[in-house]
């Protein structure tokens, strides 16, 4: 759950690619012919994954860091696109030369998940079986399905083991899933502002957002492409709901209070309060670039993620196969994915005797804090990745 | 690395290969030492941002949490030894934390400054609250709200059903054997559930 992946235009996020940027980047596409068998039993007969990489893969192919994206972000993690204004990657403040995830040391991979709408195969793509966009026929995918696809990309890049898998929010779920499903392939799991399962309240928010999309007459049951339509209003409302939950109440008060855009009450229903104007703008902007089917699909993947479900709800047993070292981070004002949820993961990891660091950052910005510049958060990440780098160096000396 | 004397004593009481929980672990010095010398799997709990960062730098397992909100996240008997060094006197709920220590661990170790030290008594006789290297705070800004003497601790331990198995009283880093209650600056106890 993050902001516009193409602009990163959140307050507090570096919007320019200044010093420490990976510079101009170019996305690549990998095609896969082997079918991706999904958790639902359905399969994607063939698919593309859009991805970007930054930094250099070392000779031992040991320094790769996979960055998993959240709801509305993409493979474009860092850097900018040539001749494209406001094209800074969504986590450019975290990834780059000299930044916490230092591209002078690590080979960083960003990949767009299947089902998303930024270049990997998704509902907007042409279904080879029909010659028309998948639309509503695109299969429901899960976090586990994404991780399977990411592992295949790692295979294709010749990377057997990732130094770290990193993600915030839904991206953190992917990092956890990696640790459980591919314990031999991941050295460190860095899961930020995340949870091992959504709460009823979270699922409820997602359902309201989906209902907004599905009830837009322009949605056409998901086949709006064929009608030349876009369910902009539904998407916009979905985004407004989501956006409210990513901010803390205090943060909203601080930023907007009850400020009016008009001189006085207009006794109507327009965007009179600043907060209304802001949300409507965010919603409208989002509806211009995001795909409605992708929104349904990704929120469903969030709802379904629950690795403990196969173990009678026992998260300790679910995490038992994991051997990675873990860093978990939560933010005190994040009520969407509250610190309490992360503590459950920490407790389960300790019960399994795993190496784990857990930081609870006292930040005012709610769930969105994981994308923002916060000195304590960034220092912590930098120190943790220093440790990863030191271990890699130690391992290569031992192996030499 | 020279270990603070009370930490050296605590380390000496920890069996190699055991599972440690260090409450208020500070910059992770004890855990880093135990990892090196004892091959022990340890976790620290710490509230302060700077200390948490230092633990991460040392590659020590640290959980950022407030001890006062309890050790709820830990299951019964998860640890072999639970350590609380130089923190007991700053806890609001002393009894609760001691009981929690022997719930989540088989053994507990605490260290605390001896309020009964003669220099403290002298300061009180002179009409002032003591300010010494062990408790270097003025009365109005001290975090130390539950100071006690070794005897006080032993009375509480008995009342809570803790069996004290080991005790060391230190002054200037060395064990004190004569006039312990007056001369010791730091008291260290190891205990288990009776």
Asked if B56 lies within 8 A of A387 by C-beta distance, the reply is yes
User: Rounded CA gap, A146 and A68, in Å?
Assistant: 10
Between CA B156 and CA B165, with CA B159 as vertex, the angle to 5 degrees is 75
Q: Are strands A95-96 and A101-102 parallel, antiparallel or unpaired?
A: parallel
pLDDT for the residue B36: 82
Joined together, the tokens standing for residue B35 give 């990892």
Rg (CA), chain A: 21
pLDDT for the residue A105: 97
Number of structural domains found in chain B: 1
Of A50, A54, A2, A58, nearest to A24 (Cα)? A54
Q: Which domain holds residue B70?
A: 5-114+147-193
Residue B164 lies in a domain: yes
pLDDT for the residue B147: 95
User: Rounded CA gap, B135 and B124, in Å?
Assistant: 14
Joined together, the tokens standing for residue A305 give 């993620």
Catalytic residue among A2, A74, A116, A169: A169
Residue B175 lies in a domain: yes
Residue B3 has pLDDT above 90, yes or no: no
CA distance B182 to chain A (A): 41
User: Rounded CA gap, B112 and B189, in Å?
Assistant: 9
Q: Are strands A107-111 and A36-37 parallel, antiparallel or unpaired?
A: unpaired
Helix (H, G, I), strand (E, B) or coil at A64: strand
Residue B126 lies in a domain: no
Joined together, the tokens standing for residue A350 give 């300790």
Residue B138 lies in a domain: no
CATH code for the domain of B80 = 3.40.50.150
User: Which residues of chain A are within 8 Å of residue B62 when distances are taken between CB atoms?
Assistant: 357-359
A379 touches chain B (CB under 8 A): yes
User: Which residues of chain B are within 8 Å of residue A386 when distances are taken between CB atoms?
Assistant: 57
Residue B139 lies in a domain: no
For an interface test with A, the pick among B43, B44, B66 (most A C-beta atoms closer than 10 Å) comes out as: B43
If you measure CA to CA, which chain A residue comes closest to B71?
A347
Give how far the C-alpha of residue A198 lies from the chain's centroid of Cα atoms, to the nearest Å.
15
Instruction: Give the pLDDT mean for A180-204.
Output: 98
Joined together, the tokens standing for residue A54 give 């930054």
User: Rounded CA gap, B86 and B91, in Å?
Assistant: 10
User: Which residues of chain A are within 8 Å of residue B43 when distances are taken between CB atoms?
Assistant: 350, 356
Model confidence, pTM: 0.93
Residue B123 lies in a domain: no
For residue A396, CA distances in Å to A161, A171, A356, A389, B38 come to 14, 29, 23, 11, 25
Q: What is the pLDDT of residues B5-55, one digit of tens each?
A: 889 999 999 999 899 999 999 999 999 999 887 777 799 999 999 999 999
User: Rounded CA gap, A330 and A360, in Å?
Assistant: 5
Q: Are strands A132-133 and A95-96 parallel, antiparallel or unpaired?
A: unpaired
Asked if B49 lies within 8 A of A383 by C-beta distance, the reply is no
B63 touches chain A (CB under 8 A): yes
Residue B92 has pLDDT above 50, yes or no: yes
- Rounded to two decimals, the ipTM of the complex is 0.92
Q: What is the pLDDT of residues A62-99, one digit of tens each?
A: 999 999 999 999 999 999 999 999 999 999 999 999 99
Residue B127 lies in a domain: no
Residue B121 lies in a domain: no
User: Which residues of chain A are within 8 Å of residue B41 when distances are taken between CB atoms?
Assistant: 353
């Amino acid at each position: 759950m993050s902001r516009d992946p193409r602009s990163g235009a959140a307050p507090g996020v570096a919007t320019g690619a200044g010093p420490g940027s990976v510079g101009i980047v170019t996305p690549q596409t990998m095609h896969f012919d082997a079918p991706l068998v999904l958790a639902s039993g359905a399969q994607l007969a063939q698919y593309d994954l859009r991805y970007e990489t930054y930094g250099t893969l070392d000779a031992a192919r040991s320094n790769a860091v996979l960055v998993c994206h959240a709801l509305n972000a993409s493979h474009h993690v860092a850097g900018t696109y040539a001749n494209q204004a406001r094209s800074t990657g969504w986590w450019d403040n975290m990834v780059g030369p000299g930044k916490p995830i230092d591209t002078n040391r690590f080979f960083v991979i960003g990949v767009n998940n299947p089902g998303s709408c930024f270049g990997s195969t998704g509902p907007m793509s042409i279904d080879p079986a029909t010659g028309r966009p998948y639309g509503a026929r695109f299969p429901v995918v899960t976090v586990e399905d994404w991780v399977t696809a990411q592992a295949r990309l790692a295979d294709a890049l010749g990377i057997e083991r990732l130094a770290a898998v990193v993600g915030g929010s839904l991206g953190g779920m992917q990092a956890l899933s990696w640790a459980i499903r591919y314990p031999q392939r991941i050295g460190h799991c860095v899961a930020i502002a995340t949870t091992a399962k959504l709460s009823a309240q979270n699922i409820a928010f997602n359902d309201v957002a989906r209902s907004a999309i599905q009830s837009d007459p322009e949605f056409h049951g998901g086949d709006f492409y064929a009608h030349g339509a876009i369910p902009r209003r539904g998407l916009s409302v979905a985004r407004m709901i989501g956006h409210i939950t990513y901010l803390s109440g205090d943060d909203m008060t601080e930023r907007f209070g009850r400020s009016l855009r008009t001189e006085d009450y207009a006794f109507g229903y327009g965007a009179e309060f600043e907060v209304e104007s802001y949300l409507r703008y965010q919603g409208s902007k989002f509806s211009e670039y995001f795909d409605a089917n992708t929104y349904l699909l990704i929120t469903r993947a969030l709802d379904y993620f629950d690795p403990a479900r196969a173990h009678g709800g026992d998260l300790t047993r679910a995490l038992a196969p994991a051997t990675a070292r873990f860093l978990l981070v939560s933010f005190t004002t994040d009520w969407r994915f509250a610190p309490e949820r992360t503590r459950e993961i920490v407790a389960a990891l300790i019960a399994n005797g795993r190496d784990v660091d857990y930081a609870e950052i006292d930040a005012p910005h709610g769930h969105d804090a994981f994308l923002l510049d916060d000195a304590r958060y960034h220092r912590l990440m930098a120190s943790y990745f220093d440790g990863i780098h030191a271990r890699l160096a130690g391992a290569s000396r031992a192996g030499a | 690395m020279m270990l603070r004397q009370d930490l050296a004593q605590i380390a000496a009481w920890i069996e190699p290969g055991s599972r440690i929980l260090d409450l208020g672990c500070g910059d992770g010095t004890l855990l880093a030492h135990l990892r090196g010398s004892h091959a022990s799997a340890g976790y620290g709990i710490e509230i302060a941002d700077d200390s948490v960062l230092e633990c991460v730098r040392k590659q020590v397992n640290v959980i950022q949490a407030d001890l006062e909100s309890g050790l709820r996240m830990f299951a019964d008997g998860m640890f072999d030894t639970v350590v609380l060094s130089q923190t007991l006197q700053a806890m609001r709920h002393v009894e609760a934390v001691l009981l929690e220590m022997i719930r989540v661990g088989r053994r507990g170790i605490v260290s605390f400054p001896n309020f009964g030290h003669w220099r403290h008594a002298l300061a009180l006789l002179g009409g002032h609250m003591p300010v010494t290297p062990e408790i270097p705070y003025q009365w109005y800004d001290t975090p130390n709200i539950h100071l006690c003497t070794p005897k006080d601790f032993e009375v509480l331990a008995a009342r809570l059903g803790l069996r004290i198995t080991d005790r060391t009283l230190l002054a200037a880093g060395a064990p004190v054997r004569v006039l312990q209650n007056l001369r010791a600056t730091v008291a260290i106890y190891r205990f288990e559930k009776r």
